[in-house]
């Protein structure tokens, strides 16, 4: 199945569900079918949401990292069953719901992985070492945008609005850094040391380095913490 038919198949399955719901049944049987159809509609709604988000991420990153070729897994079996019997048993609906849940879980994992990898790579391409060379007010704004981008890149829950916000913000931060000179090498090296897994102690920072941080208004981004010895 090609991607362009995904929603067609989902809508076909919705139509089958509506047919079962409105078919002439005994009261108890109609109630049973109606309850099963309601649950199936919820599953289909989640599937549609996951497919739309996966397709949006694929479009954004410019590749088909997320496989949409099997999103109708279980559809053919369900379709065959509901067309061949008047009152499909609960097992038919349960099987369809389980298969839809498996597809949704796979799409969610692949979508988050593809998005995080791509978004993190885009952030790493920004000349972030130039931020200390911006005016103080712009530095704060740039740091705010950087924090937002990093948060959105590793978000556990991605949405179309998250993607749009990320693209707008990364474009804005990139524009702020265009034409800004690179920070002196000693500043860049010092910031790397301070951001490492084992930041240096105060004894390992020279007075000249402290003065340099203060001259570039970076001292308010550095916290001191006493460690046990």
With CA atoms as reference, report the closest residue to 94 among 83, 113, 78, 118.
78
- On whether residue 121 sits in a domain, the answer given is no
Nearest to 75 by CA among 10, 15, 22: 10
45-101 per-position pLDDT tens digit:
898 899 999 999 999 999 888 988 878 766 667 777 776 666 778 888 888 888 888
Q: Decide if 62 is inside a domain.
A: yes
CA distance 103 to 124: 32
Q: How many domains does the chain have?
A: 3
Domain boundary among 86, 115, 144: 115
Same domain, 147 and 207: no
pTM over 0.85: no
Is residue 108 domain-shared with residue 69, that is, in the same domain?
Answer: yes
Tell me the residue range of the domain where 146 lies. 126-182
Residue 144 confidence (pLDDT): 92
Boundary residue ending a domain (115, 139, 163): 115
| Chain segment 97-142, per-residue pLDDT in tens | 888 888 899 999 999 999 999 999 999 999 988 888 888 788 889 9
Torsion of CA 123, 212, 222, 154, to 10 degrees: 0
Instruction: Determine the average pLDDT of the residues in 30-34.
Output: 77
Q: Is residue 120 part of a domain?
A: no
pLDDT at 2 over 70: no
């Amino acid at each position: 199945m090609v991607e362009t038919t995904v929603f067609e198949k989902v809508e076909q399955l919705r139509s089958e569900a509506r047919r079962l719901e409105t078919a002439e049944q005994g009261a108890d049987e109609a109630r049973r079918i109606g309850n099963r159809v309601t649950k199936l509609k919820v599953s289909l709604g989640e599937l549609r949401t996951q497919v739309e988000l996966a397709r949006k991420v694929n479009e954004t990153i410019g590749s088909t990292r997320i496989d949409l070729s099997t999103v109708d897994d279980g559809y053919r079996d369900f379709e065959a069953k509901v067309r061949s019997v008047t009152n499909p048993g609960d097992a038919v609906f349960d099987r369809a719901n389980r298969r839809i849940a498996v597809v949704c879980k796979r799409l969610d994992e692949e979508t988050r992985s593809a998005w995080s990898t791509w978004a993190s790579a885009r952030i790493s391409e920004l000349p972030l070492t130039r931020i200390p060379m911006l005016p103080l007010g712009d530095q704060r704004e740039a740091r705010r945008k950087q924090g937002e981008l990093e948060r959105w890149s590793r978000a556990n829950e991605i949405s179309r609005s998250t993607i749009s916000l990320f693209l707008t913000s990364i474009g804005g931060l990139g524009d702020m850094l265009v034409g800004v000179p690179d920070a002196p090498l000693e500043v860049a090296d010092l910031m790397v040391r301070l951001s490492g897994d084992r930041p240096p102690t105060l004894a390992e920072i020279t007075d000249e380095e402290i003065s340099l941080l203060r001259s570039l208004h970076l001292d308010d981004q550095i916290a001191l913490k006493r460690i046990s010895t």
